[in-house]
Amino acid sequence: MSKTATIVKREFLTRVRKRSFLVMTILGPILMAAIIIVPVMVAQLSDSDYAVAIVDESQLFFDRFEDTENVSFTPVGTNIEHATQLMHDGRFDAVLHIPEIAFQAPSSLRLFSAKSVNFSAKLLIENILKLEFESLKLSHAGIDEEVLRSIETPINIQAIRIKDDGELITDYPEISMGLSLLSGFLIYIFIFLFGSQVLRGVLEEKTSRIVEIIVSSVKPIQLMMGKVIGVGMVGLTQFLIWVVLTFAIIGIFQLAMPEMFRFTPDEEVFITSSQVLSAEEMEQQKAYIQQYDTMAGQLMEGLSAINFPVMILSFVFFFLGGYLLYAALFAAIGSAVDNEADTQQFMLPVTVPLLLSIIMIQLIISNPSGPVAFWLSIIPLTSPVIMMARIPFGVPYAELALSAVLLIMGFMATTWLAARIYRTGILMYGKKSSYKELWKWIKHT
Amino acid sequence: MDALLRTEQITKQYTGHLALNQVSIQVPAQSIFGLLGPNGAGKTTLIRIINQIIGPDQGRIYIENKPLRPGHVHQIGYLPEERGLYKKMAVGEQAVYLARLKGMKGQEAKRKLRDWFEKFDLMPWWNKKVEELSKGMQQKVQFIITVLHAPKLLIFDEPFSGFDPINVNLLKEEILRLRREGATIIFSTHNMASVEELCDHIALINKSEKILEGEVRQIKKTFASRIYEAEIEQATNWSGEIPDKRFTLLKTSSHNGTSILRLKIEGNATTNELLEFLLGLGNISNFQELTPSMNDIFIKKVTGKFPIEANGNTEE
């Protein structure tokens, strides 16, 4: 086994055996899965039955409230005191008070509740009343409600990309955007996280003074590259475990609670209610369900349109490339200073391109093929984050290849530069290094 | 000459200052070689060049008459002046790791380490983190790591700084034993007294240049001070004056009727002549040559004068 491999092995093993690695490895996928699962669960769980009593003094709306899965409505006459009493007895969660003048003065509407108001129930009531007020006003103005309903047309443009070979693929900008943001941020976080681990590792060797013992056995560049590669492998391992565990956790949840992940709306409602619906209303319902179907279908189709192997492979490549590029610079910084506090002055120029990438990601997403996106995804300092953000939207292979080649050249350049700073820096103590000093080290043969 | 290590005209220039100027030394095989000189003279730079941590601007280095090559690091054991270990790493694992970087096989390293750890009573600490060890134990571990791969050449930079007296003795014994078993040892220090007794060869380095090199006995002979101290009881004939130019009186003092004279023999005069003169003064109770220490020789070499030559009468 070569000495570099021995160093890589130590760097890797000491890190993966740390408790923090274990915690991160387990917490990461749980967090990621939670981001996906929790909103679904919360939506399901928080909407427990919410009983609303309706006191409609105007006698216009009390029969217009249909129970939903989570909210039930019960007209309780016109006695508000009685209704409030019922609420305090625990029969109802809230009382909707529609005063006689409500139609003329909608601001007189009140929703009383003993506990804090259920927000989604409030929204639901508002929506129902809004529709009812509108149709009432329309019929007062002599417009038929049927006409109005037929005017309402759901619009959902299907975006289609024509590839160079003429193949048509449906585009899902929303899904691409999400993936774009996620992968861009992930690359950024990974580079930062593991880059600073390299910095701290170099600094540790320097401050503990073990470095001189080691470089009497191996070349400084072997030590530096051993650390960079070892930490990089830790990052890669963590990423792959995350990918596998995240998919596994989501998979388990899907198996355990299949109803939670069903995208179809309540067909039963449609069937039972269809018996009393007119033909025209049925058409509307159908269109509604179709739209729902296409939304659910779109999501599924959009996700399946994403080429996950390509996404993961390019993530691995751009993570490794970007990491190697920055890790070398981090190693150089670690070697040039005596303690963590002194790293600040050198951190700035290294972090600026990374921060710039993250700031620009918004712009890139809105125009993933524009000149800014192109240039930032070509320049090695910003390309890992920006290219990763562009890939979900599709990037021509030529650009991808150019960016990849430049990134490889970029990290070779930073490694060369860093190695020259590193071999001098690790043996320098007590002197506060300046940029001028670093430049001398680089020039020195 | 059977030199294990030879450097020829080593020059190293740092930005703005010359660290080594044409330094050539020869370290005989199986010797204990003292690389002496004040702080900042260039000793550590020379040692780092021998260890191939940095390269010389000019000059050549030979080990057993072969030009220094990367593989030679396996034959050198180096204990740097500023030394440390990974604080969070287990002692045994860390020692094995460092041994492997010196080219040892894992199993062999473990076996030999066990022997050393037994010898130094460190075995119970094998799985402990370095930070849990006392300073003295850490120093022992560092010493073991330096010598574990049985190097032909051992280089100790300021070896005794930071070691407690008990460990210093332990270290000295082990170093002498290693020498008997065939190792060549280089000591680098500014504290010349600390290694004088151990060294049989030395090189003095001052301001980037070697100013003196050779066998300790030879050097001491060359730098014989010809200064003697005599104690004379009832020096009734002592006038306080030296009648002729063969001797110079450097210092006198008297104590309970005993006069102590420090004299330097000048020109071609001999010790016998001095003794004859002293016999005439009274009963000689003690007579000895003041041999210069390496420190004295260094000062003489730099300033041209022995510190013991300083004139002045003191009454005690």
**Of the candidates A381, A373, A386, which has an alpha carbon nearest to the alpha carbon of residue A323?**
A381
> How do B58-63 and B153-157 pair as beta strands?
unpaired
- B116/A contact by beta carbon, under 8 A: no
Q: What is the pLDDT of residue A305?
A: 64
Distance, in angstroms, between A228 CA and closest chain B CA?
17
Q: What is the pLDDT of residue A161?
A: 67
Q: Domain map of chain B by residue range?
A: 3-221, 226-290
- B53/A contact by beta carbon, under 8 A: yes
DSSP, residue by residue, A11-79: HHHHHHTSHHHHHHHHHHHHHHHHHHHHHHHHHHHH---EEEEEEETTSSSTT-PPP-SSEEEEE-TT-
Distance, in angstroms, between B94 CA and closest chain A CA?
9
For residue B146, pLDDT beyond 90? yes
Q: What is the pLDDT of residue A263?
A: 46
Domain match, A241 and A342 both: yes
Which of A3, A210, A216 lies at the smallest CB-CB distance from B78? A216
Would you call A216 and B15 a contact, using CB atoms and an 8 Å cutoff? no
Q: Is residue A139 part of a domain?
A: no
Strand partners, B203: B35, B213
Distance, in angstroms, between B83 CA and closest chain A CA?
5
Domain boundary among A132, A161, A191: A132
Distance, in angstroms, between B118 CA and closest chain A CA?
23
Domain match, A251 and A114 both: no
Would you call B102 and A217 a contact, using CB atoms and an 8 Å cutoff? yes
Residues in CB range of B48: below 8 A, 6 or more apart: A427, B54
CA atoms within 13 A on the CB side of A166: 0
Q: Which two tokens stand for residue A163?
A: 């590839």
Cα Rg for chain B, rounded, in angstroms? 25
Contacts of A220 in chain B (CB under 8 A): 53
Q: Is residue A140 part of a domain?
A: no
Would you call B100 and A210 a contact, using CB atoms and an 8 Å cutoff? no
**Quick one: average pLDDT of B224-229?**
82
Domain match, A438 and A331 both: yes
Q: What is the pLDDT of residue A6?
A: 93
- B153/A contact by beta carbon, under 8 A: no
pLDDT in tens, chain A (445 residues): 688 999 999 999 999 998 888 898 888 888 877 776 776 666 666 556 788 888 888 888 888 888 877 788 888 888 888 888 888 888 888 888 888 888 888 888 888 888 777 777 888 888 888 888 888 888 888 877 677 777 777 676 766 667 666 666 666 677 778 888 888 888 898 899 899 999 999 999 998 889 999 999 999 999 999 999 999 999 999 988 888 887 888 788 777 766 655 544 444 444 444 445 556 655 665 555 555 455 555 555 666 666 777 788 888 899 999 999 999 999 999 998 888 888 888 888 888 999 999 998 888 888 888 888 899 999 999 999 999 888 888 888 899 999 999 999 999 999 999 999 998 888 888 777 788 888 888 877 6
Domain match, A326 and A380 both: yes
Domain that holds residue A358: 3-29+176-258+305-443
Chain B, nearest residue to A442 by Cα: B15
**Quick one: average pLDDT of B115-136?**
91
Cα dihedral sign for A350, A355, A356, A357?
positive
Domain match, A18 and A55 both: no
**Of the candidates B222, B224, B195, which has an alpha carbon nearest to the alpha carbon of residue B36?**
B195
Domain match, A110 and A236 both: no
Q: Is residue A141 part of a domain?
A: no
Contacts of A216 in chain B (CB under 8 A): 51-53, 73, 76, 78, 80
Domain match, A248 and A376 both: yes
Residues in CB range of A430: below 8 A, 6 or more apart: A338
Distance, in angstroms, between B90 CA and closest chain A CA?
10
**Quick one: average pLDDT of B205-209?**
90
Indicate the average pLDDT of chain B.
Answer: 86
Contacts of B15 in chain A (CB under 8 A): 440, 444
Residues B75-91 pLDDT 10s: 999 999 888 899 989 99
CATH number at residue A55: 3.40.190.10
Would you call B86 and A209 a contact, using CB atoms and an 8 Å cutoff? no
pLDDT class for B170, splitting at 50, 70, 90?
confident
Domain match, A363 and A394 both: yes
Q: What is the pLDDT of residue B316?
A: 32
Residues B103-119 pLDDT 10s: 899 899 999 999 999 98
Would you call B83 and A212 a contact, using CB atoms and an 8 Å cutoff? yes
Chains A and B: how many Cβ contacts under 8 Å? 62
Question: Can you say how many angstroms the Cα of residue A215 is from the centroid of all Cα atoms in its chain?
Answer: 44
ipTM: 0.81
Would you call B15 and A444 a contact, using CB atoms and an 8 Å cutoff? yes
- B97/A contact by beta carbon, under 8 A: yes
Q: What is the pLDDT of residue A169?
A: 63
Would you call A216 and B85 a contact, using CB atoms and an 8 Å cutoff? no
Q: Which two tokens stand for residue A52?
A: 């609303």
**Residue predicted with more confidence, A63 or B182:** B182
Residues of A with CB under 8 A from a CB of B: 1, 3, 6-7, 10, 14, 204-205, 208-210, 212-220, 423, 427, 429, 440, 444
Would you call A14 and B88 a contact, using CB atoms and an 8 Å cutoff? yes
Distance, in angstroms, between B300 CA and closest chain A CA?
33
Question: Can you say how many angstroms the Cα of residue A415 is from the centroid of all Cα atoms in its chain?
Answer: 32
- B76/A contact by beta carbon, under 8 A: yes
Q: What is the pLDDT of residue B314?
A: 38
Contacts of B53 in chain A (CB under 8 A): 212, 215-216, 220, 427
Q: Is residue A145 part of a domain?
A: no
Distance, in angstroms, between A16 CA and closest chain B CA?
13
Would you call A209 and B83 a contact, using CB atoms and an 8 Å cutoff? yes
The letter for the amino acid at A36 is I
**Of the candidates A209, A413, A77, A184, which has an alpha carbon nearest to the alpha carbon of residue B139?**
A209
Chain B, nearest residue to A221 by Cα: B53
Length of chain A measured in residues: 445
- CB-based burial label for A177 (10 Å; 0-12, 13-18, 19+): middle
Distance CA B26, CA B38 (A): 20
- B80/A contact by beta carbon, under 8 A: yes
Q: CATH homologous superfamily for B3-221?
A: P-loop containing nucleotide triphosphate hydrolases (3.40.50.300)
Would you call A209 and B98 a contact, using CB atoms and an 8 Å cutoff? no
Domain match, A254 and A395 both: yes
Would you call B84 and A210 a contact, using CB atoms and an 8 Å cutoff? yes
- B109/A contact by beta carbon, under 8 A: no
Residues B148-157 pLDDT 10s: 999 999 999 8
Domain match, A63 and A128 both: yes
- B83/A contact by beta carbon, under 8 A: yes
Domain match, A380 and A233 both: yes
Domain match, A210 and A63 both: no
Q: Is residue A168 part of a domain?
A: no
Instruction: Give Cα separations from B246 to B56, B225, B226, B273, B281 (angstroms).
Output: 50, 15, 12, 9, 16
Distance CA A316, CA A321 (A): 8
Would you call B97 and A6 a contact, using CB atoms and an 8 Å cutoff? yes
Q: Strand ranges (DSSP E) for chain B?
A: 3-14, 17-28, 32-36, 58-63, 66-67, 76-79, 153-157, 184-189, 201-206, 209-215, 227-233, 247-255, 258-265, 283-289
Would you call A218 and B48 a contact, using CB atoms and an 8 Å cutoff? no
Distance, in angstroms, between B82 CA and closest chain A CA?
6
> How do B66-67 and B58-63 pair as beta strands?
antiparallel
User: How many domains are there within chain A?
Assistant: 2
Cα dihedral sign for A164, A168, A173, A174?
negative
Contacts by residues B275-278 (CB-CB < 8 Å, ≥ 24 positions apart): B277/B246, B277/B247, B278/B230, B278/B232
Chain B, nearest residue to A420 by Cα: B54
Q: What is the pLDDT of residue B180?
A: 93
Would you call A217 and B98 a contact, using CB atoms and an 8 Å cutoff? yes
